[in-house]
Amino acid sequence: MRAKQNVWQILSYSDIDYLHRRQESQAELFCDIKKALLQRNRRLYETGSGLIYGITDRFTTSYTEKGRQAPKNLTSVIAIIFLLIGVIVAQFGLTGLIAKGYGTGAWLMFITYCIPMVTYGVYKIIRKKNELKLEEPAAPDAP
């Protein structure tokens, strides 16, 4: 089970320092911290809903450009799919997924791009050089 983040992990030190210097009592400080957290969560929700709306709009535009009508439940199906993806990502923790994802992506890039480029690419370069040496014209005879 994941440990819950506390307020100090979510807000930056500069935010807390600003709020602390601005307030005279501890109760006012915690009230402002709560307001700041709610405001950040609201921005997160707006960003997520805007992202989902943009993706569904792309799908509907694609349908209309092809001269077809988009299914009526397309936007709700896409929103539910993204909601499920978000729930699955939340179960594993986003930070861990990103850390493992970048590491795995780097290894996949190394295996699929670097190793073939070093082995097969070098082989093709050497083979091309040998073909060019064989095709060199003979030196003209001196008169």
Residue 82 burial (CB count, 10 A):
16
What is the rounded CA–CA span in Å between residue 127 and residue 106?
Answer: 30
Per-residue pLDDT tens digits for 72-92: 898 889 889 988 888 888 787
CA distances from 111 to 56, 92, 123, 140 (A): 35, 26, 17, 48
- Residue 131: what pLDDT? 82
Classify residue 12 by its DSSP letter: -
Q: Which two tokens stand for residue 135?
A: 């095709």
Residue-range domain boundaries for the chain: 1-92, 94-135
Per-residue pLDDT tens digits for 15-30: 666 666 665 566 666 6
